[in-house]
Chains A and B, each alone.
Chain A
Amino acid sequence: MQTDAQVRLEDVSFTYEEASSPAVSHATALIRPGEFVAVLGHNGSGKSTLAKLMNALYTPTEGNVVVCGYDTADEKLVWEIRRRAGMIFQNPDNQIVATVVREDVAFGLENLGVPTEEMIPRIDKALDAVRMTKYADSAPHTLSGGQKQRVAIAGILAMEPSVIIADEATAMLDPSGRLEVLDTIRMLNRAKGITVVWITHFMEEAALADRILVITDGEIKAEGTPAEIFDRVEEMQQMHLDVPPMTALADVLRKEGMPLRRGILTVEDFVQEVEKVLCPSKSAT
């Protein structure tokens, strides 16, 4: 038993009530404090179910999910788990409860029974961390998608969680909103040491994580650093996942005999490598 795990999945299976096959089957994984872990899978792979298992919204039909040392199967611990493992959902509109930004951030604190005097500094701090202080008194429907998601993050942050689980939090946003949200989350991960479980089907986002779990048909099929994962190009393609274009290109070139290093993810990586191969003298200087 490892005690330093933030989220621990022990042979977890989950079957929806009317479904014949499990949405998640025999998943075992370990997420350490301060890690940024991406869970990568295509639509219907069971990745959202996995997220809900980590927040005690679902309890596993088999196996155990342990979050911050609390077992999600224990009904008495549900609130302890949810205040420590905050969750952000896909649709920015459907997770904001109040009619004013500040009050929405307060929602979680109100639920926890935090005294009013203590609430105000915590709300201000949370809004400041996601750079939404300016909008504290705005109505949610006047904000952009990215801003709404940042408000949702602030709402979680005010509860001082140790884990943030983002269930496709950028899927409904435009590219600039996506960047906004991703930057905010990465900043929180680095500056505050909050563990992040980033559930996504975007390769580019997964590539930014410390570690990737690949999930297909409810099973965790692969695990490793982004470079390790995307290097298994053919395997990923079989799982209907798109490998980042530069990785795929490097793979093709490597097969043709070009001595490129493994684990190329971005255009910059690729350019550097190709330069090294084509004009070794230039890159040496």
Chain B
Amino acid sequence: MLSNITMGQYYPVDSRVHRLDPRIKLILTIVFIVCVFLAHSFVGYLLLTAFLIMICRLSCVPFRFLLRGLKPLRMIIILTFLLNLFFTPGEDVWLAFWIIRITREAFLQALFYSLRLVFLVAGTSLLTLTTSPIALSDGIELLLSPLRRIHFPAHELAMMMTIALRFIPTLLEETDKIMKAQMARGADFESGNLLSRARAMVPLLVPLFVSAFRRAGDLALAMESRCYHGGEGRTRLRVLKITRNDWIACGVLALLLALIILEGIFLKGVLF
């Protein structure tokens, strides 16, 4: 349980998608999100679906991992579908009885809106599935580093992410230890209603917080003694390099974006 939490969603295999530069992947994910919002017809959605399936195949991530990312959002997706289905005004009535009235326009809008959500989640899941948290924090740091000129703490943000990732397993282990110690003395974390269970967490959280603060103090001292003085003048062990594959990925996304825009101009209103 402990080891897989550190890695978050990351699916550790070596693939062409995994090896892409995290900066490029971040930017391309944003481009993909833009594409999702620009798509207005069946053709557009087919293009997006084809693209997602292609990336999924290329990344060697099993399709069910993508679906797993959708699971927590299934209620929202279903709700979006139903609300749009019942409350969108339209002309071409397919079904009407009592107060329910389903039109063609409403059905299409419901379908597209919920698909849009699915694509958004799937696209961003693909990013986190194929990029390790550390690479992601590197990518974010480097992408945000131009903002340092306006005193945006890009390096500090990335350092905080790294340290958080480093200490998640340590603190989990500690939680486990404290929990067992409290249970050995008769604490009950499992029974009772929500309120009493929340109250049972207090004796767990207090020592955990105290120890986390002590750890933070120790770590700060250790970092200082190893000459840490912020991001200024720092070099990096991991250097990101943009390779040919990165350019190809950019090309593919540019093509997708162009096709979606063309589709928006020529097919809007034809099928929708």
Interface presence of B9 (CB below 8 A): no
Task: Point out which of A86, A111, A123 has the most chain B C-beta atoms below 10 A from its C-beta.
Answer: A111
Of all chain A residues, which has the CB nearest B159?
A: A97
**Does B152 touch A at the CB level, under 8 Å?**
no
A137-174 vs B, CB cutoff 8 Å, 1 = contact: the mask equals 00111100000000000011001000000000000000
Q: Within 8 Å of chain B (Cβ to Cβ): is A96?
A: yes
A176 at the interface (CB under 8 A from B): no
With A79-B229, A116-B239 known to touch, is A141 a contact of B2 (CB < 8 Å)?
yes
Q: How far is the CA of A140 from the CA of B167 in the complex (A)?
A: 10
A113 touching B233 in the complex, CB below 8 Å, given contacts A89-B221, A108-B226: yes
**Cβ < 8 Å to A, chain B residues 168-199:** 169-170, 173
| Residues from chain A with Cβ under 8 Å of B218 in the complex | 89, 91, 94-95
| A103 to chain B: closest residue by CB | B237
CB-defined contacts of B228 to chain A, threshold 8 Å: 107, 111
Q: Do A55 and B227 contact each other (CB < 8 Å), given the known contacts A91-B218, A97-B219?
A: no
- Cβ–Cβ contact B235 & A140, under 8 A: no
Given A97-B219, A103-B237, A116-B236, does the pair A141, B227 have CB atoms closer than 8 Å?
no
Interface residues on B, range: 20 to 34
> A116 and B169: CB pair below 8 A?
no
* Among candidates B6, B229, B233, residue contacting A139 with C-beta atoms closer than 8 Å: B6
Residues of B within 8 A of A89 (CB): 218, 221-222, 225
CB atoms of B162 and A83 under 8 A apart: no
> What is the CA–CA distance of A103 and B239 in the complex, to the nearest angstrom?
12
Count chain A residues whose beta carbon lies closer than 8 angstroms to a beta carbon of B: 41
B226 touches A140 (CB 8 A): no
Q: Of residues 61 to 110 in A, which have CB atoms within 8 Å of B's CB atoms?
A: 79, 82-83, 86-87, 89, 91, 93-100, 102-103, 106-110
Q: Type the 1/0 row for B75-106, where 1 means its CB is closer than 8 Å to any CB of A.
A: 00000000000000000000000000000000
Q: Does B223 contact A (CB under 8 A)?
A: yes
Write the chain A residue with the least CB distance to B221: A57
With A57-B221, A94-B218, A116-B239 as known contacts, state yes or no: A159 contacts B162, CB within 8 Å.
no
Residues in B neighbouring A179, C-beta threshold 8 A: none
Interface residues of B in 147-174 (CB under 8 A from A): 162-163, 165-166, 169-170, 173
Chain B residues with Cβ under 8 A from A139's Cβ? 3, 6, 169
Note all chain A residues with C-beta closer than 8 A to B235: 109-110, 113-116, 119
Output the least CB separation between B209 and chain A (Å).
Answer: 15
**Cβ B225 vs Cβ A141 within 8 A:** no
CA distance A69 to B165 in the complex (A): 39
Chain A, Cβ-Cβ closest to B167:
A93
Does A112 belong to the interface (CB within 8 Å)? yes
Residues of B within 8 A of A103 (CB): 134, 237-238
B170's partner among A93, A97, A115, A116 (CB-CB below 8 A) is A93
* Chain A residues within 8 Å of B238, by CB: 103
B71 beta carbon closer than 8 Å to chain A: no
From residue 229 to 257 of chain A, which have CB atoms closer than 8 A to chain B?
none
Tell whether A99 pairs with B236 under 8 Å between CB atoms, given A86-B225, A94-B215: no
CB<8 Å pairs between A and B, sample of 20: A82-B224, A82-B227, A83-B227, A87-B225, A89-B222, A89-B225, A93-B170, A97-B166, A98-B166, A99-B133, A99-B162, A107-B226, A109-B235, A110-B235, A111-B228, A115-B235, A116-B235, A140-B166, A141-B6, A155-B226
Known: A97-B162, A109-B237, A112-B227. 17 other contacts (CB 8 A): A57-B224, A79-B227, A79-B229, A94-B218, A94-B222, A96-B166, A97-B166, A98-B162, A102-B237, A107-B223, A111-B226, A115-B235, A116-B237, A139-B6, A141-B170, A142-B3, A156-B226
Question: What are the 9 tightest A-B residue pairs by CB atom distance, in nearest-first order?
Answer: A94-B218, A95-B222, A106-B237, A141-B169, A111-B227, A108-B226, A87-B225, A113-B233, A99-B166
